[in-house]
Amino acid sequence: MILGIRPEHIEDAGTEAAEGIGGSEGQNTMEVEPQVIESMGSEKYLYFEVGGDQAAHLESLGGMTDDETSGDENGGGSADESGEMMVARVAAESVAKEGQKMRLVIDSSKVQLFDPESEKAIF
């Protein structure tokens, strides 16, 4: 199975907004190191890398990026060892800093599961 989550369903664990989706500790948190932070005024976008063993590259996504990684010969599978970039859309009051480790909380009620071969949502 492949787990999918939208950027708006991930929050900086250090903000008040995180309390509404599970708090700053627990199984639905992850430690990341933002590489790029875009401040958009009312929110921030945090770009961070997920390890190659945690990322998947689907054939349908190949045409949407300049990345020529094709996964395994069946069109899906793991990304290379360098990983894949993810983005979180967090509250403007986040004090996240580029290159500094921080915790993100994921709204587990918004997680989607997909079949890696058919790429269809599993209900």
Taking only the tens place, the pLDDT of each residue in 99-120 is: 999 999 999 889 899 888 888 9
pLDDT tens-digit readout, 30-40: 899 999 999 99
* CB burial string 95-116: b at 16+ within 10 A, e below: ebeeeeebbbbbbeeeeeebee
The rounded distance, in Å, linking the Cα atoms of 24 and 103 is 7
- Domain edges within the chain: 2-118
pLDDT of residue 21: 78
51 pLDDT more than 90: no
Q: What is the mean pLDDT of residues 52-59?
A: 54
CATH class in words for 2-118: mainly beta
Residues in the chain: 123
22: left (phi over 0), alpha (psi -120 to 50) or beta: left
Rounded mean pLDDT of 59-73?
49
